[in-house]
Amino acid sequence: MNKPLALIVDDEPDIRELLEITLNRMNIQTCCAENIAQAKALLKQKSFDLCLTDMKLPDGNGLELVDFIQTLPVSIPVAVITAHGNMESAILAMKKGAFDFVSKPVDLPALRLLVNNALKLSDVSATKERRSRHTLLGESLIMQEIRAKINKLARSQAPVYISGESGSGKELVAKLIHQQSSRSDHAFVAINCGAIPHELMESEFFGHKKGSFTGAVGDKKGLFQAAEGGTLFLDEVADLPLSLQVKLLRAIQEKKIRPVGDQQEIAVDIRLLSATHRNLNDMVRDGSFRQDLYYRINVIDLHVPPLRERSGDIPALVDHILAKLTGANKQDRPILSASALTVLQRYHFPGNVRELENIMERALALYDGNSIESDDLNLPIDVHKAAKSPEYSPALGPLEDHLEKIERKAITLALEDNNWNKTATAKQLGLSFRSLRYRLKQLDMDN
């Protein structure tokens, strides 16, 4: 079997020699270049499996080489070598398509992990790359674009921030990025940051040593260690307290963690994906989310559209949901009538795909006959439409009273829609739980 071939680009002979020796011991052949011009010439002559390039080169910047490699007909994983602490350059390189980065002085164990992960990319088969089409359903242009972006992101180690409304499928997107990546044979660890009590967060994330606090009766590994070699998905990352945001930032930058009560840092090898339905830009502006952490987790932004923006995908989604719920083949499972489909495609879907699943599950319990009719859907009142009110005029009374009525009506409808679950209601209305509680109190609705 042919040995992999790596291109090393650095103007310092000592660094080139160190990288050559390390890769040769990993049974990898190497070619070296001192500058961008030499590197480009070699890239045109040979077929490389990997490229390691310094950021500062005599005839330009390593980013120029990253750009050049993206134009080549065959995809080559490229990792950049940056000065210690120069995360801005590393982030920019990953935005441009770099696979990963390593900081000087080069940590050899970290370098070996990076190289192994990069070389695994060549093993990603066409079958694996097609998997997203059968999991993330929909043939709308926007879903085709998302699947194409997932395929591309799976070939990188860059942190990805997945934005979108509740129920739109953010965790499904994160799982697909992991499944199509070189990390797919390791763990995918998902955690809802809003579900962990603040006082336990540091221990949950980074682990703890026995006796480090009351109740720590033994050593415990945290989520970072549980995801070692794989992917860590932080859902509702906006719910992290500022105190943990600082520690998370360091873990991402240094690729190391310190368990509670431990004196030593532990190197970790994880791909970080994060998501929230809230607007992190607004939270950065009001100081509730650190700007530097936002830039670290949002190297690449992937927006998942709400269902109402891709109503043409509803027939395929309904067919998939019915198959999953009934276990029946296409001939035996119930069909959706044309009128029922029209009603669904006109509905606003504040709960997105998750709500569509609930609607179809309820319809299966209610329908009678061979087809599901519009009445069987038993759709809730659309909060967004019901909350609309006639244009204000002085005849309606004081403006403040008029606005209070609109707000009270919208909140009541949302509460009814979510069976009076305040957490679900807050998400549907795009509010924080604390903000909803405040509004309920102001409107005297908190009984």
CB 96 within 8 Å of CB 31:
no
Element spanning 20, H or E? helix 13-25
d(CA 364, CA 25): 61
Q: Which CATH architecture has domain 307-379?
A: Orthogonal Bundle (1.10)
Answer yes or no: are the C-beta atoms of 16 and 45 closer than 8 Å: no
Residue 84's pLDDT band (cuts 50, 70, 90): low
Predicted confidence band of residue 125 (pLDDT cuts 50, 70, 90)? very low
Q: Domain 390-442 has what CATH class?
A: mainly alpha
Give the span between the Cα atoms of 138 and 356, in whole angstroms: 14
What pLDDT sits at residue 200? 87
CATH of 139-303, one of 1.10.10.10, 3.40.50.300, 3.40.50.720, 3.10.105.10: 3.40.50.300
Indicate the average pLDDT of the chain: 86
5-123 shares its CATH topology with 139-303: yes
For 368-389, how does the pLDDT look when each residue is reduced to its tens digit (9 = 90+)? 877 898 888 887 655 455 545 5
Q: Quick one: pLDDT band at residue 357, thresholds 50, 70, 90?
A: very high
Return the percentage of the chain with pLDDT > 70, whole number: 91
Tokens of 350: 């504040």
Look at residue 126 and tell me whether its pLDDT is greater than 50. no
Q: What is the pLDDT of residues 408-441, one digit of tens each?
A: 888 888 888 788 888 888 877 767 777 788 788 8
Q: For residue range 13-34, list pLDDT tens digits in order.
A: 999 999 999 999 999 999 999 9
Domain ranges of the chain: 5-123, 139-303, 307-379, 390-442
| Cα–Cα dist 234/224, whole Å | 11
Q: How far is CA 182 from CA 113, 231, 234, 364, in A?
A: 11, 10, 20, 40
pLDDT band at 391 (very low <50, low <70, confident <90, very high): low
Mean per-residue pLDDT, 291-305:
93
Q: Report the distance separating Cα 378 and Cα 367, nearest Å.
A: 10
- pLDDT for 395: 63
pLDDT the model gives residue 440: 87
**Contact residues for 271 (Cβ-Cβ < 8 A; gap 6+):** 157, 159, 178, 181, 183, 230, 231, 232
- What does DSSP say about strands 160-163 and 266-267: parallel, antiparallel, or unpaired? unpaired
In this structure, what are the phi and psi dihedrals at residue 38, rounded to the nearest 5 degrees? -65, -40
CATH code: domain 5-123 is: 3.40.50.2300
**Cα–Cα distance list, 240 to 98, 180, 202, 246, 262 (Å):** 28, 28, 10, 10, 22
